[in-house]
Amino acid sequence: MKILKLTLIFAMLTFMAIFMMNSCKNDNEEELYGNDTIPCDTSNVTYSGTMKSFFDAQCTSCHYDGNQYPFLENFATAHDYAISNGNTLFTKIKDGHQGTNVTVCEKIQLQKWINSGAN
Amino acid sequence: MKKNKYTLLFILVIIGITGFCQDKKNDVTTYTKSTFYANRIINGHSVDLTPPGRLDLKFSHRMGRINNGAYDLFGLDQATLRIGLEYGYNDWFMFGVGRNNIEKLYDGFVKVKFLRQCEGKKNMPITATWFSGMYLNTLKWTDTLRTNYFSNRISYAHQLIVAKKINDKLSLQLTPTLVHHNLVKTKKDKNTIFALGLGGSHKIFNRIALTAEYYYLLPNQIESQINGTEVANSFSLGFDIYTGKHVFQIMVTNSTTMVEKAFITQTTDKWKDGNLHIGFNILRLFNIVNK
């Protein structure tokens, strides 16, 4: 009985120690999400002025005409997709689809662009 | 690797000392019972466990600030709440779960009593219990633009609870505590926070005890403010009223939360400002298994 008790204690403490070590994170919002106080210009977000360079940097290596839909390297197809599937476009990019790595400001600009008609 | 070594060493030490005060045939060893009336002193855990085979249904409330005055009926118009179910598996192990309305927080914990105060053939001056708790914040994400990780929701607390029943009336407790938040606000804030808890209970009448509890946060660990206010140490005074199957705990405290990760590291009200809260815990024991 005593051996059973000791074994149970040992198993439980070991489990707790392993669980604690493997699930502990030491994150802070500053380093994880960057400094949100950096000014983010959302006054005039357009395809040509803002989103084209963003899509080129993050998306168009795959999403170009004739390859992977949606085609984001030109205004017409990017506009059409953002109007019809804006929510999907935003969610995919926000959640790091295929390794996209975007800043908080870029997410805000993308959302602004979609919500204001994707022009 | 170093951390692993220390953990292993710690586990071995605990197992090594578990053998104290075990019953053997013909031993006349008297074990101390009920160091405290309940398995909480006020907000924090006491060294005691829920009795074996019993299910402990626990309702805890902390009201709004007393100094809000008569308009809020001295805080009774606002309340934070925890509902918990806790089960005593045997003399040395219990576990429990709970739900708090602050942060829509779910909590789960285990407690292992590995030393029992006793005298006679065997002598052990203290009772010691290990507590480990895990806390899950289930609030909707406030910032949906950023990538939010599930691990951001989790915090942990671990306590070595050491207590001594000095005599039939007085019990004292020391509680070194470690709280870990997976996500903190700034680089200056520590993810792992150390605190030292002190608690006591003094029986003033038959079945009524005066209780006190203080958690001291070691300095320079939490730099961020919560809603523009610095974090304060938690201090509480209360009464335990024992009626057999119920324990009523009534208290005045500067904390509005009832789980370790919150009342130790997120209390912002201060006694010196008069920002105090009336609260109560109601414990009801049900027999589940006759042991």
Q: What are phi and psi of A87, to 5 degrees?
A: -65, -40
Measure the CA–CA gap between A100 and A57, rounded to whole angstroms.
9
Helix then strand count (H, E) for chain B reads 2, 15
For chain B, give the percent of residues with pLDDT over 90: 64
Mean pLDDT, rounded, for B40-46: 95
The whole-angstrom separation of Cα B254 and Cα B218 is 18
> Nearest CA to CA, how far is B165 from chain A (Å)?
25
Per DSSP, the three-state class of B81 is strand
Q: Are B155 and A23 in contact (CB under 8 A)?
A: no
Which pairing describes strands B183-184 and A27-28: parallel, antiparallel, or unpaired?
A: parallel
d(CA A115, CA A107): 12
User: Does position B5 have pLDDT exceeding 80, yes or no?
Assistant: no
- The pLDDT of B29-35, averaged and rounded, is 90
The confidence score (pLDDT) of residue A99 equals 77
User: A interface mutation test: which of B3, B91, B146 has the most A CBs within 10 A?
Assistant: B146
At B16, the pLDDT band (50, 70, 90 cuts) reads very low
Q: Average pLDDT over chain B, rounded to whole?
A: 88
Pure H helices in B135-265: 260-263
Distance separating alpha carbons of residues B193 and A16, to the nearest angstrom: 18
pLDDT in tens, B59-105: 999 999 998 888 888 888 888 999 999 999 999 999 999 999 989 99
B229 pLDDT more than 90: no
Q: What is the mean pLDDT of residues B193-210?
A: 95
Mean pLDDT on B266-283: 93
Q: How confident is the model at residue B109 (pLDDT cuts 50, 70, 90)?
A: very high
For B181-217, the DSSP string reads ESEESSTTS-SEEEEEEEEEEEEEETTEEEEEEEEEE
User: Does B154 contact A29 at a Cβ distance shorter than 8 Å?
Assistant: no
Q: How many Å separate Cα B1 from the centre of its chain?
A: 30
Of the listed ranges A20-29, A52-61, B108-117, B161-170, the least confidently predicted one is: A20-29
In 3-state terms, what secondary structure has residue B3?
Answer: helix
Residue A40 or residue A28, greater confidence? A28
Task: Decide: A84 and A96 in contact? Cβ < 8 Å.
Answer: no
Put simply, whether A13 touches B (Cβ < 8 Å) is yes
Which residues from chain A sit within 8 angstroms of residue B4, using beta carbons? 21
Identify the band that residue A93 occupies on the pLDDT scale cut at 50, 70 and 90.
Answer: confident
Across the range B240-258, mean pLDDT stands at 92
The partner residue sitting opposite B183, judged by closest CB among A2, A27, A108, is A27
Q: What is the pLDDT of residue B22?
A: 52
**A5: contact with B, CB 8 A cutoff:** yes
What is the pLDDT, as a whole number, of residue A44? 85
CA dist., res. B155 & res. B226, Å (int): 17
Yes or no, beta carbons of B112 and A33 under 8 Å apart: no
CA neighbours closer than 13 Å in the CB half-sphere of residue B260: 33
Mean pLDDT computed over A17-37: 73
Q: Smallest CA–CA separation between A66 and chain B, in Å?
A: 30
C-alpha dihedral (A8, A9, A10, A16), degrees to nearest 10: 110
In this complex, which of B15, B144, B185 lies closest to A6 when CB atoms are compared? B15
